[in-house]
Amino acid sequence: MRTARFSRGFSDYQIKMAFIMPTMILLILMNIFPLLWSLYLSFHRYKASMPNRPAKFIGVQNYARLLTDPEIWGYFQTTAYFVVLAVITQFIIGFGLALLLNREFRYKGLVTTLILLPMMLSPVVVGLFWRFIFASDASGLVNYLLSPLFGGPIGWTTDPKIAMLAVVIVDTWMWSPFMMLISLAGLSAIPKYLYEAADVDRASRWFKFRWITLPLVSPLLLIALLFRTMDAFKMFDIVYVLTREGGPGIATETVSMNLYKLAFRNYNTGKACAMAYILLIIIVALSNIYVKHLNKVRGEA
Amino acid sequence: MKKLACYFAVLMFSVLIVAIPTIDAQEKLTIAWAQWDPANYLDELSKDFTAETGIEVDLVQISWSHFQDSVFTAFVGKSDRYDIVIGDSQWLGRNSVGGHYVDLTDWINENIDVDAIYATAMEAFAEYPKGSGKYWALPAEVDANGFLYRTDLFEDADEKAKFKEKYGYELAPPKTYEELRDIAEFFTRPPNLYGIAPWYSKEYDGITMGFQQVMWSFGGSYGDPETYKVEGHINSDDVVAALEYYTSLRVFSPPDAPNYYWAETLDAFKAGKVAMAMDYFAFFPGVVDSNQNPNYYDKTGFFVSPAGPKGHAISIGGQGMSISAYSKNQDIAKRYLKWFMQKPVQEKWAQLGGFTPHEEVLQSEVFLNATPFNRAFAASFPYLRDFWAVPEYAELLEACQTGWNQVIIGSKSAKDALDEIARKHEAIFEDAGYYD
C-alpha cells in the first residue's frame, strides 16, 4: 500500500533525478563552477589577496603577456624536457620489470609488492628522503658511494646541469612501478595459446615479442603512457621539496611550480587562471594525440 | 506515529550536533604563528594571561614551510580561524591594503606606550606605509640576522698563530666583511671543515635575507622608497660588488650550501662542518642547549653581522602581532595585545627566551646577561633594516630569490642578474601603479 502511494507520488523520471541530482549539484559546485569562474577571472586583473579591489576586465592581456614572456616559455621547455625524459625512462624500466615478472617464480607476490611500494608513498615524503640521499656531502648515500669514482661529491640538487636528472631519477623511482603494474596487467591478459602456436612454428623469442606481445599489450601501454604524461606535465611536489621550489636557479622550475607561485605566493589570481587554462589546453591536446593513437592501435588489433 | 518519532529524533540529533560547540564554548583566543621555539615561549607566557582573565589561548603552530600559505589562504577565504596572526614584517603591506589586518592606529595611540617600544621595531613590524603613523600590528618577536662561531677553533693558540702569520692580524670574530672572508678562507679544509655557512637558498626569502645586509653595507639599496624607482639602485656598481663578494664566499662553504637557509646553516654548524654560520638569533637557544647541540653547545660564540666598506646594516627578522579583520574576538585580541606589551610581561617574555621590542627591557642587564647571545642581539638593533613591505613584496622577493641564487650557482653574472631584477622590479611597480 505504502509502495503504491510512493509510486503515485513520484514518477520514474523524478526518482531518477532524485538520485542523480546530489551528484550533479556537487559536480556543478566543485568542478563546473570553479572552471567557469577561473575562465572569467583569466580575463581580469584580479588578486584574491586584495578582495577590496574589484576585478578589472582586461581582455586577453593575461594570455598575451604569458605567451610572450620568454621566462614562461623557459618553464614550458623545462617541463617538456622533464616529461620526455621521465616518461620514456619509466616506460622502459616499468615495461622491462613487467616482462621479468610475467613468469612464475618463488616469492613473486612479495617481489611485486616490494616493487610497487614507492608509488604508494606520498610524493612529499619521497622528495624529503631523496633530499637526504642526494645530499652533496658524505652524509648523502649516493655521494658516499659515487664520490670515490667521480673524485668528489656530485651537486645533485645544487648543480643546474644535474638537478633535473635528480628529479627524473626520483620520479622514475616512484612511478616506474605504475608502468610495470599496467604492463603486467596487459601481459597477463595475453592468451597463452598464441605463444604455444608460435612455439609449434618454432618462432624466435624476438618474433613472439614483436608480433604477439607488443601488439596485444600496446593499448594498455598507451593508457599508462597517457596517465604518466598527464601526471608528469603537472610535476610539482617533488620539485617543490627536492630542489627547493624549482632550484637551483630555475633549473627545475616546471610550469606547475611557477603556477603555484603565481597563484599562492604572488596571488596574481587573474594571470594564474590564464596560465592554468594554457596548461589545460596543452594537456587536453596531448591526451587527444594519445587517444587517437590508442584508437588506431585498437583498430589494428 | 513511529515516523514522526523518527523525524523528531533526527531533528534533535541535528540540533545537538550544531549546539555542541556552542554549549562547550568559552572565551578563547586563537593565535597563529610559525612552529619554532619562540612560539613555545609564547605558549608558556600566555598561561599567565589565561590565569589573569580566564580566557583560553590556543597557539596554533604552523610549520615554516606552510606558514605563509596557511595564513594567506585563511585570509583569502575570510576565515575567522585565527584571531591574532604573528606575521612577517613583509606581510604588512599586503594584509593592511588587502583589508585582512585590523587598523590599530587609534587603539595603539590610546592604549599602548609607543615610546617604550624600540622605534626600529615599531616601524618594521607595525607601521604601513612607512612614516605614515598608521599601525597594523605590535612587534612581538624582534629578531636579527647574526653569526655563530666555533670558540674552540678561534681560541686555539696554534690556529691564532697561523692566522696572524698569514693575514697579519689577530684571529677574532670579524668586524668587517673583509675579515669574514679571510677567516672563512682560513678555516676551509674540505671535506671535513669549511669556513662559513651563509644563506644561499632559493626557498622563501633565504638568500635575500642573507645577501641584502651585505648589499646595504656595501652602499647599495633596493630602490628609492619615495619614487619606487629601482634602476641605478639595485643594479648599481656597489650592489654588483656586494653580490660578487657574497658569491665569493661559496668556495669557503660546504658543497650543498646553495640549498642553505636557517635550518641548514644551523645543522651544518651543529655537525661541526663549519667554523662560522649565519642564522637568526631566535634559533640560537638550541645551539647552547646540550641536548640539541651535544658537541659544540659550550664551544659556540656569537657575533654581530659585520660592517661593509660603506656602512653597517643587518637584516631584520621576527614578526609582529596583528588582529585578523575576520576575527569575531577582536576585543579579546586587543586585550591580549595590551597585556603582552606591559613591561612585567615583556620582562617575563625576555626571560623565557623571547626577543622583546621593549627598549628598557632590551637594554636591561637582566636581559643582556640572560643568554650568551643577547648582547650581540641587542648590539645588532641599531642596524636593522627590512625588505620592501609593499603589497607586491612577494613578486619583488621572487625576482630577487631567483636572480641571486642564479649568480651563486654560476648560471648568471652578478651584473646580468641585477639588471634583470631591476627590470622585473620596475615592471612590478609599473603594473601596480606606483609610477602613475
The complex scores an ipTM of 0.86
Q: Do A244 and B202 touch (CB under 8 A)?
A: yes
- For position B12, what pLDDT does the model report? 58
Do A116 and A250 belong to one domain?
yes
Do B202 and B311 belong to one domain?
yes
Decide if B400 is inside a domain. Answer: yes
Helices (H), A28-122: 33-41, 61-67, 70-101, 108-120
Q: Look at residue B23 and tell me whether its pLDDT is greater than 50.
A: no
* Intra-chain end-to-end CA distance of chain A, in Å: 56
DSSP characters over B362-411: HTSHHHHTTSTTHHHHHHHGGGEE----STTHHHHHHHHHHHHHHHHTTS
Give kind and range of the element (H or E) at residue B62. strand B56-62
DSSP at A137 = S
Q: Look at residue B35 and tell me whether its pLDDT is greater than 90.
A: yes
- For position B17, what pLDDT does the model report? 54
Beta strands B274-280; B138-150: pairing state: antiparallel
pLDDT by residue (tens digit) across A120-135? 999 999 999 999 999 9
Do B292 and B303 belong to one domain?
yes
* Intra-chain end-to-end CA distance of chain B, in Å: 73
Is residue A49 packed enough to be buried (19+ CB in 10 Å), middle (13-18) or exposed (0-12)? buried
**Mean pLDDT throughout B100-127?**
95
Option in A137, A159, A261 nearest B191 (CB): A137
Contact B367, B118 (CB under 8 A): no
Interface test with B, best of A131, A144, A245 (most B CBs within 10 A): A245
Q: Do A158 and B402 touch (CB under 8 A)?
A: no
Cell of A163: 638537478
Decide if A29 is inside a domain. Answer: yes
Find the closest chain A residue to B273 by CA distance: A137
Find the closest chain A residue to B68 by CA distance: A265
Find the closest chain A residue to B264 by CA distance: A135
Q: Which of B219, B238, B242, B232 is nearest to B404 (CA)?
A: B242
Decide if A230 is inside a domain. Answer: yes
Q: In terms of residues, how long is chain A? A: 301
Task: Give the range of the structural domain holding residue A265, as residue numbers without chain letter.
Answer: 61-300
Cell of A201: 612454428
Q: Which of B259, B208, B416, B68 is nearest to A251 (CA)?
A: B259
Report chain B residues whose CB lies below 8 A from the CB of A250: 402, 406, 411
Do B231 and B304 belong to one domain?
yes
- For position B143, what pLDDT does the model report? 94
Q: Look at residue A4 and tell me whether its pLDDT is greater than 60.
A: no
Report chain B residues whose CB lies below 8 A from the CB of A157: 256, 259
Decide if B226 is inside a domain. Answer: yes
Decide if A48 is inside a domain. Answer: no
Option in A244, A249, A268 nearest B411 (CB): A249
Decide if B51 is inside a domain. Answer: yes
Find the closest chain A residue to B69 by CA distance: A264
Contact B200, B207 (CB under 8 A): yes
- For position A173, what pLDDT does the model report? 97
Do B131 and B159 belong to one domain?
no
Contact B121, B139 (CB under 8 A): yes
Do A244 and A114 belong to one domain?
yes
Question: Rounded to a whole number, what is the distance in Å from the CA of B38 to chain A's nearest CA?
Answer: 25
- For position A5, what pLDDT does the model report? 52
- Any chain B CB within 8 A of the CB of A137? yes
Q: Do A160 and B257 touch (CB under 8 A)?
A: no
Q: Do B391 and A265 touch (CB under 8 A)?
A: no
CB under 8 A, 24+ apart: contacts of B356-361: B356/B142, B357/B117, B357/B118, B357/B121, B357/B122, B357/B125, B357/B138, B357/B139, B357/B140, B357/B142, B358/B116, B358/B117, B358/B118, B359/B116, B359/B117, B359/B118, B360/B116
Residue A261 dihedral angles phi and psi, to the nearest 5° = -65, -45
Cell of A263: 597563484
Question: Rounded to a whole number, what is the distance in Å from the CA of B191 to chain A's nearest CA?
Answer: 8
Q: Which of B405, B177, B120 is nearest to A249 (CA)?
A: B405
What is the spatial distance between Cα B321 and Cα B298, in angstroms, rounded to a whole number?
34
Q: Which residue has the cell 586583473?
A: A45
- For position A1, what pLDDT does the model report? 47
Q: Look at residue A220 and tell me whether its pLDDT is greater than 80.
A: yes
Report chain A residues whose CB lies below 8 A from the CB of B202: 244-249
- Please count the other Cβ atoms lying within 10 Å of the Cβ belonging to residue B63: 10
Do A12 and A67 belong to one domain?
no
Option in B97, B203, B408 nearest A244 (CB): B203
Q: Do B202 and A245 touch (CB under 8 A)?
A: yes
CB under 8 A, 24+ apart: contacts of A109-113: A112/A184
- For position A180, what pLDDT does the model report? 96
Cell of A14: 523524478
Cell of A223: 593508457
Do A32 and A154 belong to one domain?
no
Do A13 and A86 belong to one domain?
no
Report chain A residues whose CB lies below 8 A from the CB of B409: 158-160, 247-249, 251
Option in A50, A155, A247 nearest B405 (CB): A247
Decide if B122 is inside a domain. Answer: yes
Do A32 and A74 belong to one domain?
no
Decide if B14 is inside a domain. Answer: no
- Any chain B CB within 8 A of the CB of A133? no
| CATH (domain of A188) | 1.10.3720.10
- For position B436, what pLDDT does the model report? 86
Q: Half-sphere exposure (CA, 13 Å, Cβ side) for B10?
A: 6
Decide if A88 is inside a domain. Answer: yes
Q: Look at residue B18 and tell me whether its pLDDT is greater than 90.
A: no
- Please count the other Cβ atoms lying within 10 Å of the Cβ belonging to residue A147: 17
Q: Do B411 and A153 touch (CB under 8 A)?
A: no
Contact B85, B329 (CB under 8 A): no
Q: In terms of residues, how long is chain B? A: 436
In this prediction, residue B16 has a pLDDT band, given cuts at 50, 70 and 90, of: low
- For position A136, what pLDDT does the model report? 80
Decide if B366 is inside a domain. Answer: yes
Do A19 and A101 belong to one domain?
no
Into how many domains does chain A fold?
2
Q: Do A248 and B402 touch (CB under 8 A)?
A: no
Do B293 and B155 belong to one domain?
yes
| Gyration radius of chain B over CA positions | 24
**Mean pLDDT throughout A222-249?**
93
Decide if A226 is inside a domain. Answer: yes
Decide if A50 is inside a domain. Answer: no
Cell of A185: 596487467
Beta strands B84-88; B56-62: pairing state: unpaired
* 3-state secondary structure labels for all residues of B207-275: HHHHHHHHHHHCCCCCCCCCCCCCCCCCCCHHHHHHHHHHHHHHHHCCCCHHHCCHHHHHHHHHCCCEE
**Mean pLDDT throughout A204-210?**
92
| CATH (domain of B363) | 3.40.190.10
Q: Which of B394, B252, B243, B319 is nearest to B32 (CA)?
A: B319
Report chain B residues whose CB lies below 8 A from the CB of A159: 409
Question: Rounded to a whole number, what is the distance in Å from the CA of A269 to chain B's nearest CA?
Answer: 11
- Any chain B CB within 8 A of the CB of A153? yes
Task: Give the range of the structural domain holding residue B381, as residue numbers without chain letter.
Answer: 24-143+316-385
Q: Do A153 and B255 touch (CB under 8 A)?
A: yes
Decide if A263 is inside a domain. Answer: yes
Decide if A52 is inside a domain. Answer: no
Decide if B190 is inside a domain. Answer: yes
- Please count the other Cβ atoms lying within 10 Å of the Cβ belonging to residue A79: 24
- Any chain B CB within 8 A of the CB of A66? no
Q: What is the mean pLDDT of chain A?
A: 92
Q: Half-sphere exposure (CA, 13 Å, Cβ side) for A173?
A: 16
Is residue A232 packed enough to be buried (19+ CB in 10 Å), middle (13-18) or exposed (0-12)? buried
Do B185 and B267 belong to one domain?
yes
Find the closest chain A residue to B207 by CA distance: A249
Do A108 and A157 belong to one domain?
yes
pTM, two decimal places: 0.89
Into how many domains does chain B fold?
2
- Any chain B CB within 8 A of the CB of A248? yes
Contact B30, B82 (CB under 8 A): yes
Decide if B12 is inside a domain. Answer: no
Residue B339 or residue A5, greater confidence: B339
Do A290 and A211 belong to one domain?
yes
Option in A48, A52, A152 nearest B99 (CB): A52
